[in-house]
Structure 1
Amino acid sequence: MSILLFQFQNLNAHNNLEPCKNHNNHQFFCDLCGCATSSGSFGYGTLSNANFIGIRYIYQNFESKNGIFENSPKSKETFNTYQLWAQIPITKTIYISANLPYQDLNRTFNGATENISGLGDSSLIGWYKLNFYKKQDENVVNFNGEKEASGHSLQFGLGVKLPTGEFEERLADNVNPGFQVGTGSFDGILSVGYNYGGNKIGVNTLLSYYLKGENKNKYQFGNQFSYALNAYTAFSTEKVNIMPFVGVSGDVYNAIEQYGETLNGTDGNILNGSLGSEVAIKNFIFGASYTLPISQKLFGGNVESKQRFSVYVNFAL
């Protein structure tokens, strides 16, 4: 399962000599396929302050131990996700994000390779943005009537993940049941975020809760709480804006349920560290990030997330 977001402003913000003053978006998150091992820490939006339509590639790999012993056989899973994503404003304070993923997943176990691919779960989120403004000096007359932005803002999101990807019950018996192109369920998404953008630095945070629904196979992935914090800076010229960032993110997963019964050992948590950068050149926005786990315990320690990276290119509208 995958997703997106936010309100964005005019492309001229890319060429502003103080680009961070106008940065209002943050990186938002949901797991790729609705499964407990697919971390929620993937951005819905970018650091750049623009409406866009674009494409993004995300790579993940996992190692799953099929047994309780140290020498138990292990399977290796590789997740490749190709997304069409967009960020579209409705009003000055309301905006939507949309995402349509294609999944290409590979699994190697005991010398045999399995591949599944297809359309993943699409998502749609509506956002409301609350800006904060500087207190006006009562001794200064404001002739234009415009308030001066403080750089601080809050965002509130409400959305849904749609079951456009296929769920295969036979794959749920794997040690890593996240090896699916879709969940087969409708899921709700609740998010709140805080952003600060100064002259040269910025911070954005996000807290999200995912209410997982039950699919037609009576299978229900556990509800998920995700959190993220990114700090970035900016280096600008008349034509190019470069924004490196570092961040931490994590997910806490409830246990999976099937036929109303909780499946033991299917909950977990993970904490990640990441770094990356974004480059805006005219109407094009290029970005890349690399993520490694700091600590994790997934499926009783039987599933290990190794690394992930993503790259994207967007066209600012």
Structure 2
Amino acid sequence: MNDLPNFNFRYAILGLLLLCNTMMYAHHPNTICNNHNPEAWFCDLCGCSTSSGSFGYGTLSNANFVGLRYIYQNFESKAGIFSNSPISKETFNTVQLWAQVPISDSFYVTANVPYQDLTRNFEGERENLNGLGDISAIGWYKIMFYKKKTTDSTAIDYNLTKEPSGHSIQFGIGVKLPTGKFEERLADNVNPGFQVGTGSVDGVFSVGYNYGSDRIGVNTLFSYYLKGENKNNYQFGNQFSYSTNVYTVFSGEKMNVMPFIGLSGDVYNSIKQYDETLQDTDGSILNASLGSELAIDKFIFGANYTLPLSQSLFGDNVKSKQRFSVYVNFAL
């Protein structure tokens, strides 16, 4: 929590202004939360290998949408094996244009176009990187389950409408493109994830389960990231991510509020360069998340705060600190 004053207030003010401006035009009751099939917090594909799956592609409201999301992350990296070794402090600011677009009743696509602004402070020197990050897209196939009818077998049922049970599963296959710049000179840092992009084409394979009722919901997602080798013969380690969130719904006359709590984690394989495994470049992290989503008419506002519960990254030389996300979406 001591790192909170280092929060980049330029982005916070921009987000608050956007939020307030949008709320001025939203005055009608929300109707998009009644599908009872909320999507999981689908894992994002940040170009940084130290990023977690805590922040995702979807919203609790189960709406197809287009919107803006801001993510703040910070890390501390120890450049040495001694307790008094110098510390590098890294701040990651990401603004994303993201969307979920339906193709059919069972198939939809999520996409993410990030802009990265990264800052590193080490022994009095400040380094800044910014630019377009790695664009990603995932195609999802959703299977919904319906309630069994208990009508009299001798009677003719003229109502052919199926009633959703609230349970569903989805399968996703996607790709991350090397649109963000990868700088080989930065790969020698204690935290090689301090990059605008990976420079590689990566594959994503996901499976998730959702349940939603009028008052409560649960969603769980498992994803595997197959990392490719970039033109510098550098390959970030493959990554397994998992997350589960539990939320409740408070419905009002003009809005729905959905607070949630969750757990998420990532397991990273070692980085390779020229087919050689680099020492102390694997790791794992477990996070706890707390947040809420507010839906008014077709506007969706969300916030998510994440704090690591346990971690072992890059030989314990890199520490993930707090993470924070806010977003404003318009339901399609």
Bin of the TM-score, shorter chain as denominator length:
over 0.9
Structure 2 residue aligned with 1:111: 124
Structure 1 residue aligned with 2:256: 241
Is the Cα–Cα contact under 8 Å of residues 41 and 228 in structure 1 kept in the other structure?
yes
**Percent identity (aligned):** 70
**Shift of residue 282, structure 1, vs aligned partner:** 1.2
Mapped pair 1:22 → 2:41: no
Aligned residues: 303
**Shift of residue 14, structure 1, vs aligned partner:** 3.5
| Pairs within 5 Å for 1:146-225 | 146-225=161-240
Report the CA distance shift for 1:77/1:223 in structure 2 as closer, same or farther (over 3 A).
Answer: same
Structure 2 residue aligned with 1:9: none
Is the Cα–Cα contact under 8 Å of residues 280 and 286 in structure 1 kept in the other structure?
yes
Segment of structure 1 superposing worse, 164-173 or 234-243: 234-243
Q: SS of the residue aligned with 2:315?
A: helix
| CA deviations over 1:222-269 (Å, ceiling 9, x no partner) | 000000000000011232010000000000000000000000100000
Is the Cα–Cα contact under 8 Å of residues 48 and 194 in structure 2 kept in the other structure?
no
**Shift of residue 150, structure 1, vs aligned partner:** 0.8
| Pairs within 5 Å for 1:1-317 | 14-15=30-31, 19=33, 22-35=36-49, 37-139=50-152, 141-317=156-332
TM-score between both structures, scaled by the size of structure 2 = 0.89
| CA deviations over 1:20-79 (Å, ceiling 9, x no partner) | 6523311110342141x1112211011112111100000000000000111100000000
The aligned amino acid for 1:127 is W
| CA deviations over 1:148-206 (Å, ceiling 9, x no partner) | 11110000000000000000000000000000000000000000000000120000000
Is the Cα–Cα contact under 8 Å of residues 13 and 49 in structure 1 kept in the other structure?
no
| CA deviations over 1:88-109 (Å, ceiling 9, x no partner) | 0000000000010000000000
CA distance in 1, matches of 2:124, 2:262: 37
Is the Cα–Cα contact under 8 Å of residues 20 and 200 in structure 1 kept in the other structure?
no
CA distance in 2, matches of 1:206, 1:97: 15
CA RMSD of aligned residues (A): 1.4
TM-score between both structures, scaled by the size of structure 1 = 0.93
Is the Cα–Cα contact under 8 Å of residues 308 and 322 in structure 2 kept in the other structure?
yes
CA distance in 1, matches of 2:130, 2:48: 15
CA distance in 2, matches of 1:21, 1:30: 24
CA distance in 2, matches of 1:68, 1:31: 31
The aligned amino acid for 2:195 is Q
Q: SS of the residue aligned with 2:190?
A: coil
Structure 1 residue aligned with 2:7: none
Report the CA distance shift for 1:13/1:299 in structure 2 as closer, same or farther (over 3 A).
Answer: farther
The aligned amino acid for 1:85 is W
Give unmatched runs, 5+ long, in structure 2. Answer: 1-27
Q: SS of the residue aligned with 2:51?
A: coil
Report the CA distance shift for 1:260/1:194 in structure 2 as closer, same or farther (over 3 A).
Answer: same
**Shift of residue 81, structure 1, vs aligned partner:** 0.2
Give unmatched runs, 5+ long, in structure 1. Answer: 1-11
CA distance in 1, matches of 2:29, 2:164: 14
Structure 1 residue aligned with 2:18: none
Report the CA distance shift for 1:185/1:15 in structure 2 as closer, same or farther (over 3 A).
Answer: same
Q: SS of the residue aligned with 1:311?
A: strand
